[in-house]
């Protein structure tokens, strides 16, 4: 398998920046991994707090125990600009990781053929 394909698959299927590690682009890998981890932490923490609020509401009796109301509350999610931004930053990191690792891997392959 070509390095460019391997790097793109690892960045796409595992985590952003992992493909950069394979092609020895450590600075880019570190930047992508850190940004993606921060964005993922913010997003997961907010969604987890929303889930805990729903569970607390069910336990206290303010939220009825039926699938429709729970689904409606869960679909709203933690609707804040910070959470939405963190989601989009995470998606952007993933896409940048795939495209950039493929591009750099392809450039390294053509450079080695010369």
pLDDT tens string 79-110? 788 888 999 999 999 999 999 999 999 998 88
pTM of the model: 0.82
For residue 61, the SS3 value is coil
The parent domain of residue 58 ranges over: 3-113
Provide DSSP, 70-96.
HHHHHHH----HHHHHHHHHHHHHHHH
Asked whether 36 and 93 are in contact (CB, 8 A), the reply is yes
Domains identified in the chain, total number? 1
pLDDT tens string 20-79? 999 999 999 999 999 999 999 999 998 899 889 899 999 998 888 888 888 888 887 667
């Amino acid at each position: 398998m070509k390095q460019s394909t391997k790097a793109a698959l690892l960045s796409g299927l595992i985590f952003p920046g992992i493909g950069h590690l394979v092609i020895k682009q450590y600075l880019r890998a570190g930047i992508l991994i850190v940004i993606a981890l921060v964005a993922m932490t913010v997003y997961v923490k907010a969604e987890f707090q929303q889930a805990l609020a729903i569970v607390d509401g069910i336990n206290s009796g303010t939220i009825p125990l039926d699938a429709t109301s729970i689904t409606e509350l869960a679909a709203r999610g933690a609707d804040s600009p910070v959470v939405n931004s963190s989601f989009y930053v995470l998606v952007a990191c993933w896409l940048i990781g795939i495209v950039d690792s493929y591009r750099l891997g392809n450039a390294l392959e053509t450079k080695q053929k010369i």
